[in-house]
Amino acid sequence: MPYVMVQIPNTPAPTSPSAPRSVPTSADVARLAGVSRATVSYVLNDTGAVRISEPTRRRVHRAAEELGYVPHAAARSLRAGHSRMVLMPAPPVPAGPLHSQFVHDFQGALSRLDYTVVQYGNCGLHGDEAARAWAELRPVAVLVPGPGLGPRGVAVLKRSGARAVVTFGTEPVDGAHALLTDHAGVGRGAARHLYARGRRRIGVVVPEEPGLETFSAPRLDGAREAVHGLAGATVTALPLAYTEESAAALAARWRDLGLDGVFAYNDEYAMLLMSALQDEGVRVPEDAAVIGADDLMLARLLRPRLSTVRITLPSGRGLAELVDRAVRNPGATPESHELFDATVVQRDST
């Protein structure tokens, strides 16, 4: 087995006259406790591989406490050859309420399985380059939302020791477990519902905020697909920024657009647009049927109450178990799961 000489400076060059005191090392602990460094490592990393007497253990813990020494996770994972780190690149857009809740539950569930969840920014990298940056952290598992990671990137991650790579997206990626997010299905469900409610000239809101096209493009495609070939049905893309001004401008030209129904991307854009339409005197649902997506509680409070496409995400615990299973069986055939279930909930706005 190869060994790497890793140098830990215990007297870093001061960067200013008042630089912090030197970082205590396990050698300092060993010296103070009067034991070997190996003993310090055995005691503090609690390996159980070697029997150490209780008085020695206590001496080591006391010395570590006195010096303020804590083991170095990186050194430990280098020694172990793997980590318990599950890496999740941060999403490219500020998280919405559904996503925040899901990540929160998922993190909790993975922590209970003794994994450390690390979320971090993509530093502006994409595709294989991003995969290399992630690989440098030697995570035991990587969960990649959105597109961009290809089979090559998956291979880079696996070669660097990741036992499980899980992608979220519309298509599986070779070598990775897939959580399939059927955004086209959300658009399809919304458009079918509007058609069934007698609407023929259907608008689909496309948010102008950067980073959302990953979700909005398949939603628009799904809506187009749903009414394709149906008598008299058209689908019109409606760019909309998440501001009152943009919504007012769209509402002002609503009658010229000649539309009678709209799938508003999600409930937040739907609330914004519905309010602007009402201010413009456009009646909902008579002149414009409006449907959102996500089934946010606040959207149920609107009058007329908002119809929506409810998206049910799996429990954080279920997903955490999938990750754990994948880590334990790195050679197993990649699993593929539908990540969410989309159901139309009709209320008063359609």
Please report, as residue ranges, which positions from 34 to 73 form the binding site for its own copies (by CB under 8 A). Answer: 67-73
Instruction: Classify 89 as helix, strand or coil.
Output: strand
Distance CA 104, CA 316 (A): 8
Piece in contact with its own copies (CB under 8 A), picked from 136-144, 216-224, 317-325, 337-345: 136-144
Is residue 163 part of the contact set for its own copies (CB under 8 A)? yes
By the rule CB under 8 A, 237 interacts with its own copies: no
CB of 224 to its own copies, least distance (A): 28
Distance between CA atoms of residues 122 and 341, nearest Å: 28
CB of 228 to its own copies, least distance (A): 33
Q: Count interface residues toward its own copies (CB under 8 A).
A: 89
Q: Which is closer to its own copies, CB of 226 or CB of 293?
A: 293
Q: How far is the CB of 189 from its own copies (least distance, A)?
A: 23
Classify the phi-psi angles of 295: left when phi > 0, otherwise alpha if psi is within -120 to 50, otherwise beta: left
**Exposed e or buried b per residue across 336-350, where buried means at least 16 C-beta atoms within 10 angstroms of its C-beta:** eeebbebebbebebb
**262-291 residues near its own copies, rule: CB under 8 A:** 268, 271-272, 275
Rounded to the nearest whole angstrom, what is the least distance from the CB of residue 242 to its own copies in the complex? 7
Q: Sheet of 234-240: strands edge to edge?
A: 234-240, 201-207, 261-263, 289-293, 307-312, 341-345
Among 46, 136, 171, 286, binds its own copies (CB under 8 A): 136
Distance CA 2, CA 157 (A): 21
- Pairing mode, strands 141-144 and 164-169: parallel
Site string for its own copies, 84-113 (x = CB under 8 A): ------x--xxxxx--xx-xx--xx-xx--
Instruction: For the CB of residue 122, give the shortest distance to its own copies in the complex, in Å.
Output: 8
